[in-house]
Chain A
Amino acid sequence: MISKKVDSVQDALKGVQNGMTFMLGGFGLCGIPENSIAELVRLGVKDLTCISNNAGVDDFGLGLLLQKHQIKKMISSYVGENDEFERQMLSGELEVELMPQGTLAERCRAAQAGIPAFFTPAGYGTEVGEGKESRMFNGKMHILEHAFDADFAFIKAWKGDEAGNIIFKGTARNFNPNMCGAARTTVVEVEELVPAGTLDPNRIHIPGIFVQRIFQGERYEKRIEKLTVRKATS
């Protein structure tokens, strides 16, 4: 067994530097690497490019890095729900590249899978397709999109073992599996880290080969962005 276990978030984030490009898992506040984000805030690294579907809310998730002006550029598909983000974007302090959600996911997956580029119909004929190579397949126009190139991927999983094998829960899965192995270093934090041999190999979502460092996360807040409930009678 090749161990990927590190003992702390500090060890897990060794090598993180100003100006780097990061991938961060999560959809909204669901399945975000809370511990890694907190450590990035503490380290104070700046001029970061962050690839993440969303940008958190004002006081949680990537919003914490935005507050400290650590992010130079965001690459996302949807960035509503964050006033500080909007302010920085409109004032030009923050560079923003928006792209279709499926394109964002596939650019991660392509990086993970060694595919340099791919054609997708999403965004053809819109400003997303401007300046990009386009080509017709099966009577339909597609645009060429490239794999991402990132230094670190920060992943949140539910359970993991020392070998770096991981399992996700619910919709907290989202972009996390697609970002594993899609950056030069993949750092995974889990709610429960167990010895190798504990998890059933049939249940593994992402094998440890895609993971360089795994650590036991702490104090998960798992904030709910839009709590929506129904009455028992309905």
Chain B
Amino acid sequence: MSLSKEQIAQRIAKEVKDGYYVNLGIGIPTLVANFVRDDISVEFQSENGVLGMGPFPLEGEADPDVINAGKQTITTLPGASFFDSALSFGMIRGQHVDLTILGAMEVADNGDIANWKIPGKMVKGMGGAMDLVASAENIIVAMMHTNKAGESKLLTECTLPLTGVRCVKKIVTNLAVLEVTDKGFLLLERAPGVSVEEIKEATAGRLVIPDEVPEMKL
């Protein structure tokens, strides 16, 4: 069985360690916050200028002056802080944020990522994604293994305009956990019930298959 979006988020949550400052992108990455163990201390950064993001507000308690980078109303937790955009990206470029989790349209087996533009179709802009991928030491991509047309999103070379070069370290999809290495995508784990053959079939980029590929534990 391939994973649901929630299960992808659940698997990625295991990569979030005690003491981490984490930036979550829009989409599946946002769900990761719901699955982080509550016995560890983690702070979520949103690049519009808040550290220590909490859950969505209760009905009637939303403050229009307190939103996340997805423009959703949010709350803050004890220890939170607000800051301006230059300081926020100083935090990101200066590598003070420990982990960046973001979505992608395509990832290449050298770590290139494309997630901001489809020429002639979708031109919304890169927002903070280019700053994040150019700077973060630790980048995990959360995405489906194939697109709606069934084509692989894990390629030898991105076909869409790039967001960043050689920056992705790890990818968690509905089928597998993969690490970007010099030899291509190293298959670390497979989704419960998904065969190595199925992953091979769905991966267009170079895939390195170790002798044993354990099933992921959620």
Contact = CB atoms under 8 A, between A and B. Distances in A.
Interface of A: 27-31, 53, 76-81, 86, 89-90, 96, 98-106, 108-109, 120-128, 158, 168-178, 222-232
Contacts of A231: 58-59
A128 B117 CA distance: 12
Q: What 9 pairs across the A-B complex have the smallest Cβ distances? A: A102-B89, A102-B131, A125-B165, A80-B124, A170-B65, A105-B85, A100-B130, A228-B72, A78-B125
A128 B71 CA distance: 24
Given A126-B130, A229-B59, A79 B67 contact: no
8 contacts: A80-B125, A101-B128, A126-B165, A128-B126, A170-B63, A174-B84, A224-B73, A230-B55
Contacts of A30: 48, 64-65, 67, 71
A72 B63 CA distance: 33
A105 B91 CA distance: 13
Nearest to A229: B59
Contacts of B74: 228
Interface residues of B, number: 51
Contacts of A77: 125-128
Contacts of B46: 171
B92 interface: yes
Interface stretch (B140-148, B156-164, B192-200, B205-213): B156-164
Contacts of A229: 56-62, 73
B44 to A, nearest CB: 13
Contacts of B60: 229
